[in-house]
Amino acid sequence: MQATATSGYLADLLRVSTATDLPPNDPYEPCPTFVQRHREVLAAIAVFALSVVLGVASFPPFKAPEFAYAMLVPGIFWAYTRPQFKTYVWTMLAAQGVTWTILLSWLHHVTWPGLLLLGPFIGTWVGVWYLAVAWTMPRLIGRPAPTRLLAVLGLAGAWVMIEWSRTWLLGGFPWLPLAASQWERSSILQIASYTGAYGTSFVLVMMNLGFAAYAHRLFRENVSGLNKRSQEFFLALFLLLACVCVQFTEAFNRRGYARPLAKVALVQPYIPQTVKWDEAKAPEILATLENLTLEAAAARPDLIIWPEAVTPLAVRGDPMVKAWVERLVKRAGVPLLLGSIAIEKPQTADERWFNGTFLVTPSDGVSERYYAKRQLVPFGEFVPLRPLLGWLGKFVPIGGDFARGEDSSPLLVPIRDQMVVTGPLICYEDIYPQLARLSALGGASVLTVVTNNGWFGEGGAAYQHAAHSVLRAVETRRPVLRVGNGGWSGWIDEFGAVRSVATNSSGTIYFRGVRIIEVTRDMRWVEQNSVYTEYGDWFVLVSAGLMMFGVAALKMSESAGRVAAPAA
């Protein structure tokens, strides 16, 4: 009887001491704070804000590329804490959508609907990477170092795969890969001559993963002493130091190998888009071009370059414009490289329009051979899926759809007593690494980019666009000469160093005028191709392999853990 009473008493005591049996308003239970009650929401808001601020500030026109080493850290660190999957995914996708809408805000000068569609679309495209982060990071806690290292390498590889897919999926829009954030920090860019810009993006993602892993180990894991070291961080640091070593071996003492190539005049006519295609304004536009060209010729350059589609009428297909350009070049006595329109088989059923780059010489006039743009701008130069989307029309008020060029062969430009093999790129073609690579494989010793960023106002578009030319210079080890209608114009050397930028007395790139630059060539890269030029996107295949190995390593580690648990 006594034993039964005692056991009953203990049972009653245990029931009373259980939290679930306490009254709902137990005065001895501490009241949760506001932060405790709304921890998940507050974490989402903080991660969202940090991701947007760091993401936007990492890229031009802002001059804080170091933020790119931490822009992914908030989302990665949060994933370690196992937030609700739906909350995490929607927060990260929303953060990327807002980030990319801000980064592409210059597009509103052309089309508000385009901006509000493209920004969130690219943000979602990039934000898919966080699905892999949400799956991976919680599984890394407590895993052996080799498993964790393979997993983070796989995540960096997944980022590369997403960037690569942006070059071709749905026509492609590889604007602002992560590597472009470092366009003014050439020390980390040199690896691109081997791996393409993807290698630089890979290292930056690894640094983000390394910082997040170190932070989690320091603040959330119950370890002490040497155990606080993060192998993920040290692997990322090793890769960063490898990039710096490439910088020393590739770019050190480059001035000792520099040889003069040409004295080049860059002409910025800064023709407003509101009048560019107005036939009534054609005489005024031609007069502006004539005055600037004769001003440039007075400095006796070896070559004059005009921007994209600069003449109001076609230099090939309109005899009057062709004759005018030839007379002007003969007066200047200097070869001219210009962007204009070519109309093949005009006024026939087979008429085709091309956006082209043309060479005009004082002796031979407009060359029969010209470069036709290979990568056209959707809704600018053609309407994709015209049977379905034809109602949207184009925002360039000339002609019908442009035809696509198919030839990457360079142009031979006479400079002094030699022919310089020039690889033209038009408008945003320089954001596509394969186009510059094909031009280099075709024999180009110099890349020229003629563009018209006048559509996008005086915001960040010109600087963001120029960042891609830096990547192409490093990848191909070819100097890039760049001319915009109103900016950005300048010269980038083989190592991605911006050697000259055209600015006015106020220091702005947005002006009408002429700038003369002395271009040199690094003799180590004359008739020499980089590894990336020769072998292309081999690093993308490596990244795909790392991604698969990372997933496999985690799966095997989880399986081993489940088998070992019952045995223990």
**pLDDT tens digit sequence for 309-328:** 999 889 999 999 999 999 99
Write down the pTM of the prediction: 0.91
321-to-211, 283, 312, 363 alpha-carbon distances in Å: 59, 11, 9, 17
Could you tell me if 182 and 68 are in contact, meaning their C-beta atoms sit under 8 angstroms apart? yes
473 has pLDDT over 80: yes
Specify the pLDDT at position 409: 87
Mean pLDDT on 285-291: 96
Per domain, the residue ranges of the chain are: 36-253, 260-519
46 Cβ neighbours under 8 A, 6+ residues apart: 74
Count how many residues are written for the chain: 568
**pLDDT tens digit sequence for 35-68:** 777 788 999 999 999 999 999 999 999 999 999 9
Residue of 454, 513, 491, 481 lying closest to 268 (CA atoms): 513
Q: Which of 85-89, 349-353, 370-374, 434-438 has the lowest mean pLDDT?
A: 349-353
Q: Rounded CA gap, 125 and 165, in Å?
A: 9
> pLDDT category, 397, cuts 50, 70, 90?
low
Specify the pLDDT at position 1: 46
Residue of 261, 173, 195, 212 lying closest to 71 (CA atoms): 212
Element containing residue 303 per DSSP (H, E)? strand 303-305
User: What is the rounded (10 degree) CA torsion for 438, 442, 447, 450?
Assistant: -70
Specify the pLDDT at position 279: 83
> pLDDT category, 2, cuts 50, 70, 90?
very low
Specify the pLDDT at position 14: 37
- Look up residue 267 and give its two tokens: 């002409």
Alpha carbon 449 to its chain's center: 16
8 versus 521: the higher-pLDDT residue is 521
Mean pLDDT on 547-567: 80
Q: Percent of the chain at pLDDT above 90?
A: 72
Q: Return the DSSP state at 374.
A: S
Specify the pLDDT at position 57: 98
Mean pLDDT on 485-508: 95
Residue of 484, 496, 558, 551 lying closest to 522 (CA atoms): 496
> pLDDT category, 453, cuts 50, 70, 90?
confident
Specify the pLDDT at position 326: 98
**pLDDT tens digit sequence for 173-226:** 999 999 999 999 999 999 999 999 999 999 999 999 999 999 998 888 866 555
390 versus 209: the higher-pLDDT residue is 209
Q: Percent of the chain at pLDDT above 70?
A: 88
Q: Which of 247-251, 359-363, 408-412, 470-474 has the lowest mean pLDDT?
A: 247-251
164 has pLDDT over 80: yes
77 versus 391: the higher-pLDDT residue is 77
User: Mean pLDDT score of the chain, rounded to an integer?
Assistant: 89
> pLDDT category, 103, cuts 50, 70, 90?
very high
> pLDDT category, 90, cuts 50, 70, 90?
very high
> pLDDT category, 26, cuts 50, 70, 90?
low
DSSP structure string for 398-455: SSSPPPPP---PPEEEEETTEEEEEEEEEGGGGG-HHHHHHHHHTT-SEEEEEE-GGG
289 versus 377: the higher-pLDDT residue is 289
Q: Which of 71-80, 227-236, 389-398 has the lowest mean pLDDT?
A: 389-398
- Look up residue 448 and give its two tokens: 């020229």
564 has pLDDT over 70: no
Partners of residue 513 on adjacent β-strands: 268
DSSP structure string for 155-224: HHHHHHHHHHHTTTGGG----S-GGGGGTT-GGGTTTHHHH-HHHHHHHHHHHHHHHHHHHHHHHTS---
Specify the pLDDT at position 563: 60
Q: Is 490 helix (H, G, I), strand (E, B) or coil?
A: strand
CATH architecture, range 260-519: 4-Layer Sandwich (3.60)
158 versus 416: the higher-pLDDT residue is 158
Q: Return the DSSP state at 352.
A: E
Could you tell me if 542 and 549 are in contact, meaning their C-beta atoms sit under 8 angstroms apart? no
> pLDDT category, 380, cuts 50, 70, 90?
low
- Look up residue 545 and give its two tokens: 């392999």
475-to-423, 429, 497 alpha-carbon distances in Å: 14, 15, 13
